Structure formats: C-alpha cells, structure tokens
Amino acid sequence: MGKILIIPSIDIQNGKTVRVVQGIPEVGSLDYGNDPVEMAMIWRAENAKCIHVVDFDSSHEHSKSNFGLIKNICDSVIIPVELGGGIRSFEDASEAFELGVARVVIGSMAFENPREFIKILDEFSPNKVVAAIDVVNEEVVTRGRQQRTHLKAIQYAEFLKSCGAKRIVVTDVSTNGMLTGPNIELSKNIADAAETKVTHSGGIGGFKDLIKLQHEASEYIDSVIIGRALYENKFPCQKIWRVAESGIFS
C-alpha cells in the first residue's frame, strides 16, 4: 500500500481553535494558537497536503458564525480544505463549496436523510463528498456525537457504500483526543466490509501510533486525521507528511 497521508485537523468554536477530547471541544490551551487562519498557514508551511476543518458552532447550533473564517482559511492556503460540522442539507453543502472548500464531510445527515445525501453525492461527485462515521462501543452516534442510533458501524458503512459513498472518515470517539493509541481494528473492519477508502481519525498519540497504523492498516486506509498530537508536538519531528500514491482528491 502507499504511504498514509497526514491530515491536520483544525477544530473551530466561537472563532477560535479548540482541542477536542472524546467529541467535546475545549477552548484553547496548551499553546494552541487561537487563530484558525494562522494555524492553517502554519500547517501549510509544515508541508501539509490537506487540512481537515470542523465547525463545532455549525455542528451544534447550525450557526454560520465561522463562515468568514473558513473562507479566509481556504483563501490563505493553496492546499485542499475539507469541512465537516453542521452540513444538514443540499443548500448547506452548496454554501460550503462557495466558501472555497474542496470537500465536505457529512455525518448525521446521511443517517437522517439519505435521499438528500445521495442528491449531494450526485451533484458534486463522491470525490468531493465524504461520509463520516462516529462510533462509541461499535455503535454509530450522530448529532455532534450526542445521539445514539442503535446501528452497528459496519452495517452503516455498507449502507453508505450503497448510497454511492466512496470515502468514509471513521472516528472512534472514545479515543479521540486521548493520545492513547488508535483503534485500527475498527477502521480496518469498516474499510474491508464496505470496500471504500477510509480516513482514520482518533487516538494517534505519536510517531509509534502512526507507524503502527501504516503497517497494520488495510489497503483501503490511505489517510489519517491528527489533531491534538500535532498541536502538542508529540512527534520527534513535525516533518511527517506523506503523500498517498494516488491523490485522494483526484
């Protein structure tokens, strides 16, 4: 398999960069830069090939208060920006693309309104629309990780594939921001069952975890979103970026 693409995450709440622990955002601490635009430019300078942005205000309150910031991020870096959080309709997706994002990440809406999700996939193409699965104890959770669905992650992944999804972001919420190691098995099981490309998210605490993911991941897992470990310099050298053999935006 090709080398795994590293995607730094910028989580935004109230216009500031926050860290997220088990799905709960906490306002800046531990030397986090408060300015998301500046943070994006730092990751670009560090040679990141893509940035993952999560808008928590949109996710929880369907607020557009961070849209100006997100547009500034897209305008400030020449690399693709993917956006998740609060995309609940075709109109929301269209508006996100108007901000300049290269790709949208859709979670709750794909579960609650699959027809709308399919409409977005058909209009913008599966290369620009990613499904997200947030998991707690093998069960899919939605609505900012607050609502249980009583649906197994693997079953849901197979459903998303049937809708036309070609890529899934898989997050084990219990490991997210904990720096305790990734749940590689979960991502592998979902990737293999649905036979879709998977971006792993959650649990990467340092270089050893990254190497473990590289060695153990199935051929479908080609990228990983990393947040807290990057911000807290948990790597011996921050020049860890890798490019997957086939560009994931092509």
Q: Which residues are catalytic?
A: 11, 134
- CA–CA separation, 71 and 20 (whole Å): 22
SS3 string of the chain? CCCCEEEEEEEEECCEEEEEECCEEEECCCCCCCCHHHHHHHHHHCCCCCEEEEEHHHHHHCCCCCHHHHHHHHHHCCCCEEEECCCCCHHHHHHHHHHCCCEEEECHHHHHCHHHHHHHHHHHCCCCEEEEEEEECCEEEECCCCEEEEEEHHHHHHHHHHHCCCEEEEEEHHHCCCCCCCCHHHHHHHHHHHCCEEEEECCCCCHHHHHHHHHHCCCCEEEEEECHHHHCCCCCCCCCCCCCCCCCCC
139 membership: H or E segment, kind and range: strand 139-142
Structure letter (DSSP) for residue 181: -
